[in-house]
Structure 1
């Protein structure tokens, strides 16, 4: 088998920085910390990045490109409650990969102008996506709500999806020493979001919600929801380390 080319130093710095930011918190990581973990000189690190904010902005740029692709349903899928559940579980795994951005968000926004401007747009995109989903349910006679109610539901979905990790931290700060526990509990956000819509659901969607709550719907791996390229990667990872928390419901 042909050996893969070695990753460039810049890519390794970004990968390691993301890992450190996620594991011990961005405020607790310095460029010196990153250089020491990389086993390179600070001068070598500064050759690739001017400072820590430059590293954060580069990671955020990756995050921004990826989330832009995810804030839409794949072609050929209808807006149904079980599809929304699967999608939310899929997004949980993405949130986990960039969790420092959500957990340390307010601190980052207070001192990083790029994130202050761009993250506002991402939240607006989340709210718009939620509104479009609700409007599709309305068009299918699966939901009854006024435009004002739809806007409130959509905004609440955007808020919960963005700040659920912060809520978890406030309620159980000591559990952040147990990352797999936090990761498993992060999946609870799917139920919180779906429940916001429940009082307005009708017909099949209401029944799907009831079945979801009661556990009647069969389950699937969240990887089944991924595009083919990501699906292959995820299945490779799952074969090495099963993650029961990443299961979602199948229609």
Structure 2
């Protein structure tokens, strides 16, 4: 049986995903659970405490999922699986991306942690791009900071794809993960060599 704190987080996540941050208060969560707000405050003093707990719960889930991808040898299959892992987890916690700017403005702890993760991801992608170039799967850079900017485009797509799906579709579904997963993964395709494009096509077809 789940503890009250776990039920609060589950209920909050469901409400945040369905209604958005603006419409969910501690009272909303307490009413949904049919408990007093005092009982809720015993576990979480502020709504921001719940948001932080959900954020680090999401990060933990991603870390566990990513660990399963480290054994993959094909770089394109690895890239596709990482993208799918991230997008699947963000779908489950989609309010973070739908209310991304607001959360980053209001919560310094989450913003600070996110900025550190962004730096780590940029380094990881830089290593990946260098490896692809070294093995003849990706061409050399032509423009200054070309691959640094490629990573930035991938990051922007990754952070805001759910907002695009929400705006253009009446409802976000798990099918959106495959649709936007292909869009995201294709960002690298124009930079690949002929050999790289063949390997990419074979690998991506197995994932999305």
Residue in 1 aligned with 2:99?
Answer: 104
Q: In structure 2, what is the Cα distance between the partners aligned to 1:104 and 1:81?
A: 31
1:41 aligned residue (25, 36, 45): 36
Q: Please say which of residues 98-107 and 190-199 is displaced more in the overlay.
A: 190-199
Confirm whether residue 196 of structure 1 aligns to residue 193 of structure 2: no
Confirm whether residue 151 of structure 1 aligns to residue 148 of structure 2: yes
1:59-208 equivalence runs, <5 A: 59-69=54-64, 74-146=69-141, 148-172=145-169, 175=170, 178-180=171-173, 183-208=174-199
Q: CA deviation at 1:190?
A: 2.0
Q: CA deviation at 1:88?
A: 1.8
Q: In structure 1, what is the Cα distance between the partners aligned to 2:163 and 2:124?
A: 22
Residue in 2 aligned with 1:17?
Answer: 12
What 5-or-longer segments of structure 1 have no aligned partner?
Answer: 1-5, 220-247
Residue in 2 aligned with 1:54?
Answer: 49
Relative contact order: is structure 1 or structure 2 higher (C-alpha 8 Å, sep ≥ 6)? Answer: 2
Matched-pair contact (CA < 8 Å) for 2:26–2:47: yes
Matched-pair contact (CA < 8 Å) for 1:130–1:157: no
TM-score of the superposition, structure 1-length normalised? Answer: 0.73
What 5-or-longer segments of structure 2 have no aligned partner?
Answer: none
State the aligned residue count: 206
TM-score of the superposition, structure 2-length normalised? Answer: 0.86
Q: In structure 1, what is the Cα distance between the partners aligned to 2:202 and 2:69?
A: 24
Matched-pair contact (CA < 8 Å) for 1:128–1:154: no
Matched-pair contact (CA < 8 Å) for 1:79–1:133: no
Per the alignment, do residues 134 and 70 of structure 1 end up closer, same or farther by CA in structure 2, a change over 3 Å counting?
A: farther
1:197-236 equivalence runs, <5 A: 197-210=188-201, 217=205, 219=206
The CA RMSD measured in Å over matched residues stands at 2.4
Which digits, 9 at most, give the CA deviation of each residue in 1:207-239, with x for residues without a partner?
1345578xxx4x4xxxxxxxxxxxxxxxxxxxx
